[in-house]
Amino acid sequence: MAEYIIQTKQRGKALGQLADLQAFQEQVRGDQQKTVGFSDQTMKLFSNSQPLLALGRSAGLQIMDTCPLLKTVFARSAMGLDIAAPDLQAQPTASSVADKA
């Protein structure tokens, strides 16, 4: 939401425009669906008792245990941190610079 507010102000647009809020809502919905999907697939993977799947799961956990980078990538993905963080540093707009002069 902070990123949306900063970007909207930088573009010189009024906050609360319906089209902008709908675009923000769609972005949030996509993030939520990704997180829910990841959680659902993880739960299905670990609750399944098929021998071949259990073997693959065990091998995957052992590989992650011996490879710190892979473990970090998996953990960051599970936390939703696999995308770049928004730049929340507000850059001065032409109008805000002119207002201070």
- Give the global pTM: 0.56
74 is a domain residue = yes
- pLDDT tens figures, 45-80: 888 889 998 898 899 889 989 999 998 988 888 787
- The answer to whether 95 and 14 have CB atoms below 8 angstroms apart is no
Look at residue 19 and tell me if it is in a domain: no
The set of residues, in sequence order, having a beta carbon less than 8 Å from that of 34 and lying 6+ positions away, is 80
Instruction: State whether the Cα torsion 37-43-49-53 is positive or negative.
Output: positive
16, part of any domain: no
Confidence of residue 92 (pLDDT cuts 50, 70, 90): low
| Any domain includes 68 | yes
Rounded Cα distance, 49 and 55, in Å? 10
Domain annotation covers residue 72: yes
**What pLDDT sits at residue 94?**
53
Query: Is residue 2 in some structural domain?
Result: no
Instruction: Kindly state whether residue 25 falls inside one of the protein's structural domains.
Output: no
> How far apart are alpha carbons 17 and 31 in whole angstroms?
21
Domain that includes residue 74, residue range: 37-80
Orientation of helix 18-47 relative to helix 2-10, angle to 10°: 150
More reliable by pLDDT, 70 or 92: 70
Domain count, the chain: 1
- Phi and psi based region of residue 48 (left: phi greater than 0; alpha: psi -120 to 50; beta: remaining): beta
